[in-house]
Amino acid sequence: MASAEVPFRVGEQVTGEYFTDRSDEVARILRAMREPTRLLVYGERRQGKSSAIRQAGVRFMEEDGMLVWVDVATASGLDDLARRLVASVPYRWVWREELQARLVRASLRVEARADPNGNPVLSLVLGGGHGRAGEARDREDLERAVRVLDDLAAERKVRLSVVLDEFQQVTSLADRGAWILRDLLQTTHHLSWLCAGSRTALIRDLIGPEGPFHRFFEPLNVREIDPDHLATWIESRLEGAGVTPEEGLGRSIIGAVGSRTQDCLQLARAVYTMGSASGAAAGGDVATALRLSVLEDSDRFQTTWSDLAPSQRAVLRAVAAGVEQLYSRASAMEFGLPTAGSISRAVRALVDRGYLTADETTRVDDPFFREWILLRAMPDGIPYGGDRPS
């Protein structure tokens, strides 16, 4: 009988025993947190960037550093960014009252409120605005809030690190949003800025020769964990939780969903669930666990599929089946692909929305979504019977 403690955590930023490897990345991030700098942490989605930053952040706070974490992807504007920046400051931080007083002196209205979990937080009360005038006020409020944090860090000798997760989404928050962020980061001298991002194509544009962040950051590219290390770690976690893995099981899991850390852990968790009753797991369980995991999430994939245009669905079917020649006549006939121009537009739209990854090859970004397409959305409605694309 397996242990009641599930050995893998998915969909959250992990630390401690649930975190593995990334020692070099964690050490580099921790160095950046300790001193005013601008570090760009980037790489493909679900590769473990946020967990590496969180792991470094735990150590940083143990050294009495202060970490402020802002998720830019879920912000709706520059005013929202300012609110999140202030709300991320721990309410029981030793300098919290002084920070609140400084914000008030900077003509920012601030209140104490409770977050959804009932914890007290500082909250900026901003009027918001519409059009260029409102956007200008939002930018001024954001600049004031950042300036207050920078001044406090300087005068009280506080080590303060600001993490902007999915920072590239600032381009959608305001006209010339990336340039506004660059100006903001340039005007601070006592804060450490860690900008993390996973939209690699957009990030390449932002840091390229014509981009606002050209030669602006120290870059840290978070790549895949060594597959041998990850496979061994997965097997050791299973065994430690009471499920004896067949030799090579970790490699079978990686082979089924690719090398992105979160994908591997999601499948490993499903394999653990299957094996928890018998206390053992074999390579043959991987395909079954993958299907069960996909079917449990079928409603979400169905909603995603329903929101796609017919041309986008056709492209996804072909790519999921391993088609490399999207523009060939044979592919068009088998998968109902549209004209070449429509295919190109569909691919661009799917890449922009994160459903496709197009680098050396074009592939469905999420291996679980790919498996759902093969099981539920092929042209003839029959589950795909061939070998799964690697």
Domain residue spans of the chain: 22-221, 227-296, 305-376
DSSP bridge partners of 281? 245
Interacting residues of 142 by C-beta distance below 8 A, sequence separation 6+: 78, 79, 81, 82, 85, 184
Q: How is residue 381 written in tokens?
A: 């409605």
Q: In 3D, which of 192, 183, 141, 202 has the Cα closest to residue 164?
A: 192
Indicate whether 359 pLDDT > 80.
Answer: no
Average pLDDT over residues 219-244: 87
Tell me whether strands 191-197 and 218-221 are parallel, antiparallel or unpaired: unpaired
At 189 the pLDDT is 93
Residue range 15-57, pLDDT digits in tens: 444 455 677 888 999 999 999 999 999 887 777 788 889 889 9
pLDDT band at 135 (very low <50, low <70, confident <90, very high): confident
Q: 22-221 maps to which CATH number?
A: 3.40.50.300
Query: Among 18-27, 81-90, 209-218, where is mean pLDDT lowest?
Result: 18-27
Average pLDDT over residues 367-373: 94
Q: Spell out a b/e string for 272-301, using b for 16 or more CB atoms within 10 Å of the CB, else e.
A: bbbbbeeebbbbebbeebbbebbeeeeeeb
Tell me whether strands 362-364 and 356-358 are parallel, antiparallel or unpaired: antiparallel
Percent of the chain surpassing pLDDT 90 = 52
Q: In 3D, which of 23, 24, 28 has the Cα closest to residue 39?
A: 28
DSSP 325-354: -TTSHHHHHHHT---HHHHHHHHHHHHHTT
At 12 the pLDDT is 45
At 126 the pLDDT is 77
Average pLDDT over residues 233-257: 91
At 24 the pLDDT is 82
At 20 the pLDDT is 56
Contact 32, 194 (CB under 8 A): yes
The label of the residue with tokens 């990030």 reads 203
Contact 152, 141 (CB under 8 A): no
pLDDT band at 226 (very low <50, low <70, confident <90, very high): confident
At 3 the pLDDT is 44
What is d(CA 11, CA 149) in angstroms, rounded to the nearest whole number?
30
Sign of CA dihedral 166, 192, 99, 121: positive
- Residue 38 to residues 31, 35, 159, Cα–Cα distance (Å): 11, 10, 14
Mean of per-residue pLDDT scores for the chain? 86
For residue 5, the one-letter residue type is E
Neighbours of 250 (CB within 10 A): 26
Q: 305-376 maps to which CATH number?
A: 1.10.10
